[in-house]
Structure 1
Amino acid sequence: MRDRRHAAAPGQAGPYRAVRAALLRDPRLLLRLGAWSVAETAPALVVGLAVARAIDEGFAAGRPGLGFAWLALLGGAWLTAAVGARQVVVAVGSIVEPFREELLDHVVDGTLRRSAAAGHGPGAAAVARSNLQVELARDALASVITVVRSFAFTVVSVVLGLTTLMPQVLVLVLPPFVVGLCLFLLSLPALARRQRDFIVADERTAGALAAMAGGLRDIAACRAGDRVAADVGRQVARQARAGRSLARVTAMRTASLAVGGWLPVLLILAGAPWLVRHGAGAGVILGALVYVTQSLAPALGNLVQGLGMSGVRLRVTLERVLRSGEPPRPVTARSVPRDAAVELRGVTFAYGPHAEAVISDLDLSVPDGDHVAVVGPSGIGKSTLAALVTGLLRPDSGRVTVGGVPAERVDQASRVLIPQEAYVFRGTLMENLTYLAAAPKPAVEDAVTALGLTSLVARLGGYSAEIHAGLLSPGERQLVALARAYLTPARLVILDEATCHLDPAAEALAEEAFARRDGTLLVVAHRLTSATRARRILVMDGASVQLGRHEELLASCPPYADLAGLWNPSDSQELVP
């Protein structure tokens, strides 16, 4: 069991406190990291001194043996650094891995509490947070520790080396280096804000594009393409502005590196005569240049790159991860409806504030126990209606109730929606069938018989067979999902083209089984045969809706008559080609 005595819970700390807690969890790890960092930065301490002494006291003085001895010392420092670098990686891992585990525990705990409070399972955002953002935070922290540690030990080593070599060189090196470092540190808050703005803008753009892609049929049906494109275009433009703003602040990194890393080189070269007057030889000047170009400038560059990228990413990611542990927002209490009657009064819904309404001022009454099929051209809003009835979408105006309860407040167990793409998880067939209800085996066998899964059960080898989505055809996945819904106690069932991958005979068997089942059945029809089996038919044509029986609608509803005219009973072709 991990020792957490020295670590604050991530949810109780902001990003800085969370990082500090991770670093101070075990001081011995920091001591070990520091010791190996000394070994890793050994070349930064001796590189300039070894080059200077090898030239001035060795080769230039006619003593090549001494020159090679100094170079051998430098080679030994590099070997020591290689060993130290390996151990530094291990030491950093011993710090960041417990940090990652605590973050993951925090996210999982927060996700479960939110799911329990909301009454449904974790969504894609929670999965992305637990998998992607925690890994990003772990990698970013490892990078920050690595570059900050390397920078600090390298700067100390270079200062000690230059002091040993010739203290006067520090006058030419340290002032511009400190100025460049300050420029970079002053730009960090603005850089963090711009990075956060860019991430938020990117997510909003992705959300806008996803919403547009999901509503393409409705957008086309309502001729709202230009308006939706303009809305998405504005979001893309906002992201572009955020990107340009981020780029401008990022340019400060280049300026700080130029001042702090390369201006000292120019000052050493320009100040060479002054150094010579103070007793510097060619080796000292070359050694000073080596210290700056091989140690100091790269260390500053790594710091600028590491903190400018990983540091900002760590702060932004931690802010988002830690928010997942906040207490869940209060959710509206769910209620069990008195029955499965569906009522829509003055319902209007549009995908976006500027889009044309997909459903406009709709009034609809579906009594408890009714069987209604919803038909209409592709993209007319049938799936939108199903989502409104189940509470997945909320109307812009009007009211949707199930058994007198607002649709968004209906208890989860009281209604079930089967979409076109059926979900099957890895597990046994029995686990998949009883996922939504603890049904006894006789009830499962009755459902399997009623819905026509007998041959599938036999092919798989029984209810204990392990299955997954890739093992089943789309039609078989739909049969499993239909049986799963059939076994629930839900009295309101919505089939949103949930039989589209079944052949006409299998579709008829499934729909007739649900029609015999107690409760209200709402079917978004895929074939006209589904409509003819329904007690009543709701026709959606964009301008209005009409509800009636098959024979009545043939005579009174031209859009339905047109749809019926496309149907060839001999081959049971699809309702909409």
Structure 2
Amino acid sequence: MSRPDVGRTTWRALRARRRDVGRLCAWSLVESLPALLAGLVVARAVDQGFLAGRFAVGLTWLAGLAVAVLVGALATGRVYRSLGDLVEPFRDELAGLVVHGALHDATGAGGRPDSAPVARLTHHVEIVRDTFGGLVMVVRGFLFTAGAALLGLLALDPTVAALVAAPLLVGLAVFAAALPAMLTHQRAQVRAGEALGRATATALAGHRDVLACGAEQRTVAGVDRRVNDHAAAERTLARMSALRSLSLGLGGWLPVVVLLLAAPWLVRRGLSTGAVLGALVYVTTSLQPALHALVQGLGGGGLRYAVTLERILRTCRPPSHSGSAARPTPEPAGDCPAVRVANLTFRYGPRARPILADFSMELPEGEHLAVVGPSGTGKSTLAALVAGLVQPEHGTVHLAGRPVAAVAPADRAALRVLVPQEAYVFSGSLADNLRYLSPDADGPAIETALAVLGAAPLARRLGGLAAPVDPATLSAGERQLIAAVRAYLAPAPLVILDEATCHLDPTLEATVEWAFARRPGTLVVIAHRISSAVRARRVLVFDEDGPMVGGHQELLSRSPAYRDLVGHWDGVPAASPGHVDADRTAAGVRSGHG
């Protein structure tokens, strides 16, 4: 019916929950009790009761059938509960797969946020969840209901069972033979719909350019072509419904015709009138509805399930669990620098100018480095490379002696914390936001961090640590302050502030940076004010001639680019003693700029 990945994924989901599947099957057996007894009870009620003139006996048999129906109805409730236990974990796994794939693509080299994974998460995953549950129900219903009806027919008369089973199998064979073609046309319909959506979105987003270039007719023609393709795919898919009707006719209605035509011969063979009527009951009340549900379910929801799950599996790579277990990360050697960058080259495209070219840098443990330079010179790129968020074209990055490329993403949080300019705050309590990177932080530790970073007034204004936080009501500076406290509490020895205090006033920014400078570990500040460079022990300045490192006063005398940057800054506060020392060599930088 579908490609192997879909089949394997479905089979894995069922095998992983064998207990839930077993419980579902057990309740399905109970639910199929009326299908098993219906024809037999009707035959006995007719032969032994109504035709024999004993109405009480006939009614007693029918009352027994009513009890069986009631028991089956009670079992149906348990069936749906078992179905939820089976379907919802599968839905959660797919949602995790989509989220992992989206994050992997967005944080990989050259990656960027994409809204398509949101559509897969909110739309495609829900389609798979609903159709998976529907498929389980129709397949389970057909197997147990049709199986019970055929057993009942065998109990009535094996010849009758054979007369009914033969056209039923022919109808199933016709439907199974048509499924591959149905699936192919379903894929074509989905692809045509996606192409139409892309063409429409592109035309709407670029309508100004279209008008400016006079390309209205060409754009309309392109969208119109996609509309026609989608309509043709829909019509072809609709025509395939004729095969479903043929299957239903052969498997559901032909047995009725066969039974009616063979009834005189069966009666001459000794089959009772009640048995003939009971056989018709089995066909019309059990086999026909079960076959109809199977054909419509597989031919509709089943095709959507296969195609949609196939799209998810193709576009979202599963998370790798090999990580550090399969490839042990080397232990840091003694006296390793906090950061070592060697021969780093990075560009945002094969033909683009390198943002960094053969760049090397070492930062000893406890260093406080400010990185400055005009926009586009590579400051934030360097921060992302050091944090391991993007991979270099050439070169290596080591944190505490460990190559970042060999460290599993989940383990990098123990080595560094990067605070970007756009601070992330989520809905929840203030404490939950602050403990995000340090779940074990207790109340006193959080209160101390709030006081040290000057965030205690904000915490009081919000209502305390237990107060709910609505990100939409916070200013950009308040979000940055919460993110700074979160990073301060993190156990990572390296903190990278990538313009993470740009929305704070200069006094509060100085408080935050001094707090991180006194915190054990290494601090790298991507500076947007000259005051951040003055507070740092060393300054790395990027310009067109390549990077240069030194103290504030040293760079004023050595670097024209740094002097030019200082000339455009104002409000430089006095540095604290011991924090500006042009003679101290705390970081060495070399670069082959080209």
Q: Is the structural similarity TM-score above 0.5?
A: yes
CA contact 1:388–1:407 (8 Å) conserved in 2: no
Question: Which amino acid in structure 1 is aligned with residue 81 of structure 2?
Answer: G
Residue equivalent to 1:359: 355
- C-alpha separation between the residues in 1 aligned to 2:374 and 2:261? 89
Q: 1:446 to 1:342 in 2, by over 3 A?
A: farther
Q: 1:299 to 1:269 in 2, by over 3 A?
A: closer
CA contact 2:427–2:469 (8 Å) conserved in 1: yes
Residue equivalent to 1:300: 291
Question: Which amino acid in structure 2 is aligned with residue 340 of structure 1?
Answer: A
- C-alpha separation between the residues in 2 aligned to 1:326 and 1:408? 16
Residue equivalent to 1:523: 525
2:77 to 84, 89, 95: 89
- The runs of 5 or more residues in structure 1 that have no matched partner are 1-10, 59-64, 109-124, 210-236, 571-577
- C-alpha separation between the residues in 2 aligned to 1:160 and 1:417? 69
- C-alpha separation between the residues in 1 aligned to 2:186 and 2:162? 36
Deviation at residue 452 of structure 1 after TM alignment = 0.9
Deviation at residue 363 of structure 1 after TM alignment = 0.7
Residue equivalent to 1:5: none
RMSD: 6.5
Deviation at residue 425 of structure 1 after TM alignment = 7.8
CA contact 1:191–1:312 (8 Å) conserved in 2: no
- C-alpha separation between the residues in 2 aligned to 1:95 and 1:440? 41
- Residue by residue over 1:305-331, the C-alpha shift from the partner in whole angstroms, topping out at 9 and shown as x without a partner, is 5456569969979x99xx989776514
- C-alpha separation between the residues in 2 aligned to 1:500 and 1:35? 67
Question: Which amino acid in structure 2 is aligned with residue 157 of structure 1?
Answer: A
The answer as to 2:359 corresponding to 1:391 is: no
- Residue by residue over 1:321-365, the C-alpha shift from the partner in whole angstroms, topping out at 9 and shown as x without a partner, is xx98977651442544723244241322547xx684763424142
Residue equivalent to 1:148: 140
Residue equivalent to 1:470: 470
TM-score after normalising by structure 1: 0.57
Say which SS state the counterpart of residue 401 (structure 1) adopts. Answer: strand
The answer as to 2:245 corresponding to 1:258 is: yes
Deviation at residue 408 of structure 1 after TM alignment = 3.8
Q: 1:414 to 1:196 in 2, by over 3 A?
A: farther
Q: 1:417 to 1:271 in 2, by over 3 A?
A: closer
In the TM superposition, 1:382-531 aligns within 5 A as: 382-408=379-405, 412-419=413-420, 420-423=422-425, 426=428, 429=431, 432=434, 436=438, 447-459=449-461, 465-470=465-470, 473=474, 474-488=476-490, 490-517=492-519, 519-526=521-528, 530=532
Residue equivalent to 1:347: 345
The answer as to 2:32 corresponding to 1:37 is: yes
Deviation at residue 43 of structure 1 after TM alignment = 6.4
In the TM superposition, 1:157-172 aligns within 5 A as: 157=149, 171=163
- C-alpha separation between the residues in 2 aligned to 1:176 and 1:151? 17
Deviation at residue 557 of structure 1 after TM alignment = 3.6
CA contact 1:439–1:487 (8 Å) conserved in 2: yes
Residue equivalent to 1:536: 539
Say which SS state the counterpart of residue 466 (structure 1) adopts. Answer: coil
- C-alpha separation between the residues in 2 aligned to 1:405 and 1:434? 24
Question: Which amino acid in structure 2 is aligned with residue 38 of structure 1?
Answer: L
- C-alpha separation between the residues in 2 aligned to 1:290 and 1:355? 74
CA contact 2:329–2:406 (8 Å) conserved in 1: yes
- C-alpha separation between the residues in 2 aligned to 1:563 and 1:194? 65
CA contact 1:265–1:289 (8 Å) conserved in 2: no
- Residue by residue over 1:400-442, the C-alpha shift from the partner in whole angstroms, topping out at 9 and shown as x without a partner, is 2345542345775443222332346856749936953977888
Say which SS state the counterpart of residue 423 (structure 2) adopts. Answer: coil
CA contact 2:182–2:303 (8 Å) conserved in 1: no
TM-score after normalising by structure 2: 0.56
Deviation at residue 494 of structure 1 after TM alignment = 0.3
- C-alpha separation between the residues in 2 aligned to 1:478 and 1:291? 70
Q: 1:36 to 1:485 in 2, by over 3 A?
A: closer
CA contact 2:30–2:71 (8 Å) conserved in 1: no
Deviation at residue 44 of structure 1 after TM alignment = 7.7
- C-alpha separation between the residues in 2 aligned to 1:32 and 1:253? 35
Deviation at residue 170 of structure 1 after TM alignment = 6.6
CA contact 1:424–1:481 (8 Å) conserved in 2: no
CA contact 2:170–2:251 (8 Å) conserved in 1: no
Question: Which amino acid in structure 2 is aligned with residue 262 of structure 1?
Answer: G
Say which SS state the counterpart of residue 153 (structure 1) adopts. Answer: helix
Say which SS state the counterpart of residue 500 (structure 2) adopts. Answer: coil
Say which SS state the counterpart of residue 514 (structure 1) adopts. Answer: helix
- The runs of 5 or more residues in structure 2 that have no matched partner are 1-8, 97-116, 199-225, 268-274, 573-594
Residue equivalent to 1:573: none
CA contact 2:494–2:522 (8 Å) conserved in 1: yes
CA contact 1:253–1:304 (8 Å) conserved in 2: no
Q: 1:43 to 1:486 in 2, by over 3 A?
A: same
Q: 1:96 to 1:459 in 2, by over 3 A?
A: closer
- Residue by residue over 1:25-57, the C-alpha shift from the partner in whole angstroms, topping out at 9 and shown as x without a partner, is x7xx8555423322267668889x99x99xxx9
Say which SS state the counterpart of residue 501 (structure 2) adopts. Answer: coil
In the TM superposition, 1:225-240 aligns within 5 A as: none
Residue equivalent to 2:112: none
CA contact 2:36–2:151 (8 Å) conserved in 1: no
- C-alpha separation between the residues in 1 aligned to 2:239 and 2:331? 57
Question: Which amino acid in structure 2 is aligned with residue 177 of structure 1?
Answer: L
- C-alpha separation between the residues in 1 aligned to 2:520 and 2:27? 69
- C-alpha separation between the residues in 2 aligned to 1:485 and 1:331? 28
- C-alpha separation between the residues in 2 aligned to 1:41 and 1:311? 30
In the TM superposition, 1:21-420 aligns within 5 A as: 22-24=20-22, 33-39=28-34, 81=69, 84-91=72-79, 93-94=81-82, 97=85, 140=132, 144=136, 147-154=139-146, 156-157=148-149, 171=163, 174-185=165-176, 254=241, 257-263=244-250, 295-306=286-297, 309=301, 329-333=325-329, 335-336=331-332, 338-350=336-348, 356=352, 359-368=355-364, 369-377=367-375, 382-408=379-405, 412-419=413-420, 420=422
Aligned residues: 470
In the TM superposition, 1:536-575 aligns within 5 A as: 536-539=539-542, 545-547=546-548, 552=556, 556-557=560-561, 561=564
Q: 1:335 to 1:427 in 2, by over 3 A?
A: farther
- C-alpha separation between the residues in 1 aligned to 2:353 and 2:418? 23
- C-alpha separation between the residues in 1 aligned to 2:490 and 2:14? 48
CA contact 2:429–2:468 (8 Å) conserved in 1: yes
Say which SS state the counterpart of residue 172 (structure 2) adopts. Answer: helix
Q: Give percent identity, aligned residues only.
A: 29
Q: 1:16 to 1:92 in 2, by over 3 A?
A: same
CA contact 1:391–1:409 (8 Å) conserved in 2: no
Q: 1:407 to 1:197 in 2, by over 3 A?
A: farther
- C-alpha separation between the residues in 2 aligned to 1:398 and 1:406? 11
- Residue by residue over 1:356-391, the C-alpha shift from the partner in whole angstroms, topping out at 9 and shown as x without a partner, is 47634241425432422244437x754332121022
Q: 1:510 to 1:192 in 2, by over 3 A?
A: farther
